[in-house]
Amino acid sequence: MTASGTHRGLWLRFVLLVGMAAVLVFAVYFAWTAQAESSENERRALAEARTLSAQMDASWDYIDSIQERINYTHGVFDFKDVYCSVAGKAIAVRFTDRTDYSIRYVRENPRSGTDVPDDFERAALASFERGADEYFAMTDYEGSPAFRYVSVLRAEPGCLSCHGAPAGEKDVTGFIKEGMAAQDVAGAVSIVLPMGTIQAESHADLAAAVVFFCVLMAVVTVILGWGLSRWVAFPIVSENDKLRREAESQSNFLSIVTHELKTPLAAIIALTELWRRRCSSATEEEARIMDDIEMNSHLLLGQINNVLDTVRLDEGCLGANVEDVDVYDVVALVRRVAEPLSLRQGISFTATVEPGIPIVRADREMLRRISMNLVGNAVRYTDAGGSVALCLSWRAGVLVIDVRDTGAGIAPEEIPFVFDRFVSKPGSQHTGEGGTGLGLSIVKRYAEAVGGSVEVRSELGCGSQFVVELPLETAAHPEEEEDR
C-alpha cells in the first residue's frame, strides 16, 4: 500500500472513530437535554401557575377588604350579592374564556354545581387536609398534555360570616353555614395549563441545539482531522513507508544472496556424489572427507532454505506445491541427511512409518522441511550415546509427525519461546539443521499454514518430544477418478 493509500485509510478510520464517538456523545446529550427540557417545562409551568394563583388570591383579598364599601349605602347595610366567591369565580371565568388556561374554584360539599371537584382536585383537597398548601403534576387533561396546579383556600376571618358558626344557620346569601373556623380548608383554586405550546417551543429549542451540536462536531472533526493528518498521521505514514521500503530491500537482498548461494551448493553436492561414485576404491580418509563435504553442504543448504523460507513467509508469497505424496519418500529424504549427521555425533537415529498411511495431497518439500528441521533440532541438542526417533502416523485424516530425543530437554520457563525466531539454546554440541534459530519457527508457521498445529513436551535433562499434526486430504484412487 502506498503512503497516500495508507493516509486515506487512517483518515477514514479517524472519521469513523470520531463519528461513533459523536453518536455516543449525541445520544447522551440528547437524553440529558430531553430530561432537562422536561424538568424545565415543569418548572416553567409551576412558576406560571403560582403566579396565576397569587393573582387570584389577590383579587379575592381585595374584594374581601372592600365588602363594607360595596354592601353599605350611607351607613345602611344594603347587600348587593358581591362577595369574594362571586368575584373570584367571575374573574376566573373571564380569564378562562380569553386564554388557553383554565381556572376554577372547587370545594368539598360545594354550594353550586360548578364547584364539584374531579379526581385530581379531590386528591389535592385530601392533601390540604393533611397540611399541604399546593398540589401539582404533569398529566393529561381532556386528551391533551397539561400541567395541573391546585392551591389551598383557607378560611379567613372575613369568610366566617358566611361559612362560620353556628353550623346550619343561613348566611346573608341564603346558604347554610358550614361552621368553619379560621384556617380551615375552605376550598381550592384549580388551574390547568395546556402544555402543547410550551412543549412545541421546547422541541424547537431542542432541534436548534441538535443542529448546533452537529455543526460543532463537524467543525471539530475537520479541525482535528486536519491537525492529526498534518502533524501526526503524515509523518508516521511517511516513516512507515520508509521502513517498509528498507525491509523490502533487505528481503530482496536476502532472497538474492540465498538464491546465489544455493547454486554453488547444489553443484558441490552433485560433484561430491559424482566423486563418490567414481572413487569406488577410495581410502577411508577420502570417504570421510566426502561424507563431511556432503553432510555440511546439506546442512548449509538447509540453513539457506530456512532463511529464504522465512523471507517468503514474511512476504506472504510462499506458495504450496500440492501433489500426491508418499510419506515413505519423505522419510527416505530425511534419513539420507539425518543418518550421516547422527552417525558422526555418535547418536542413534531411527525413522519409522506406521502402516496404513495413505497417499496424501501435500507439499512434499514442506513435509521434508518440517521433519528435517525437527530431526536436526533434536540431533543438535542430544549428546553422544543418545537417540533420536522420527515416527509418522495417520489418525483420522491427520498426518502426525512425532520426533523424540533423549537430549538436554527444555526448562519449563523456556518452552513458550522455543518457536520464536532466533531462539537457540546455548551450549549445543554443534550446529545442525536449524542452527540459524529459524528451524522451529518455520515448522510452526508451515503447520499453521495448512491448519495444523505443533506441540512440545519436554523435561529438563530427560529429552523432548515435538508432535506436529497436519490435516491433509488423501489422494484419489484410480477407480475414484473413473467415477468422477
Buried b (16+ CB within 10 A) or exposed e, 210-223: eeebeeebeeebee
CA 301, CA 317: separation in Å to the nearest integer? 20
Going by the DSSP 8-state scheme, the letter that residue 413 receives in this structure is G
Question: Using one digit for the tens of pLDDT, what is the confidence trace for 446-462?
Answer: 898 889 999 999 988 88
Query: Strand 360-363 and strand 473-474: pairing?
Result: antiparallel
Amino acid symbol at 428: S
Q: What is the dihedral of CA 371, 377, 380, 386, to 10 degrees?
A: -70
SS3 content of the chain, % helix, strand, coil (to 5): 55, 20, 25
Residue 357's pLDDT band (boundaries 50, 70, 90)?
very high
Query: Strand 72-73 and strand 76-77: pairing?
Result: antiparallel
Q: What is residue 120's predicted lDDT score, i.e. its pLDDT?
A: 94
Residue 119's pLDDT band (boundaries 50, 70, 90)?
very high
Question: Using one digit for the tens of pLDDT, what is the confidence trace for 314-351?
Answer: 666 556 688 999 999 999 999 988 888 888 889 999 99
CA 19, CA 221: separation in Å to the nearest integer? 9
435 three-class SS: coil
Residue 224's pLDDT band (boundaries 50, 70, 90)?
confident
Amino acid symbol at 11: W
Q: What is residue 77's predicted lDDT score, i.e. its pLDDT?
A: 67
Domains in the chain (CATH in brackets) are 103-194 (no CATH), 320-481 (3.30.565.10)
User: Could you tell me where the DSSP H helices lie in 99-230?
Assistant: 119-129, 160-163, 196-228
Residue 205 has pLDDT above 90, yes or no: no
**In the structure grid, which three cell numbers stand for residue 133, read together?**
398548601
Q: What is residue 483's predicted lDDT score, i.e. its pLDDT?
A: 45
